[in-house]
Amino acid sequence: MGIHKADLKEFIEEKAKKRKAEVRKVVRAAVEETFRPFVFAAHADLGVLETKADAFHRELDRAVNQNKRLTDWNFTSLLRDVNRYAIGIREDIVQRQTNIAVGNLLDRCTDVLVDGLDTLSASVADQHSMAIAEYQDLIKLTDELTTIINSSHSGDKAYKRLKELGVNLSDFDGGSKILPAVVKLSVNPCLINGDCK
């Protein structure tokens, strides 16, 4: 059959990676949905700043487009910074805190959240405990399967062992990626033999 252990390991890791991404997306959406109202209410005063920053951005953009001397890098950099940081400052807080919370929930990080968000994160953990447990199990299963692959003497034996354990390998393309031997030469071998006439 000619199965390579590296190909089998890559297949298992990619399959787990896809499933973990699906679970992460669900948990992330739940965290964002829970955090956004809290952050927007807690930082309501920043709404005025966002509105003023938006108006400033529009006016500066108009001025830069109308005046050739303002196309300097400093002004375009300022426009980019105002757009990136000031206009959506509350949404930026939501995204940063969501990243921290998702890392804490799924990847077992221990980063500190803004006051009040830790209890909201705990409520998301309770509501999505099955998804979080599935994510942790996927990490554990991937490690166990790659250990089986690494400890097998060959890719064929690893494949057989994974099949015996019930792993669905129907999508696995076990064919060797080594090119087949050349059947017909494109140039007459008499050139190398020195007997071409």
Neighbours of 85 (CB within 10 A): 11
What is the rounded end-to-end Cα distance, in angstroms, of the chain?
A: 44
117 alpha-carbon distance from chain centroid: 23
> Is the model's pTM score more than 0.85?
no
The domain limits of the chain are: 5-167
Cα separation, 25 vs 148, in Å, equals: 29
Q: What are the tens digits of pLDDT across the range 82-108?
A: 888 888 899 999 999 999 999 999 999
Q: Residue 167 — very low, low, confident or very high, per pLDDT cuts 50/70/90?
A: confident
Q: What are the tens digits of pLDDT across the range 25-36?
A: 999 999 999 999
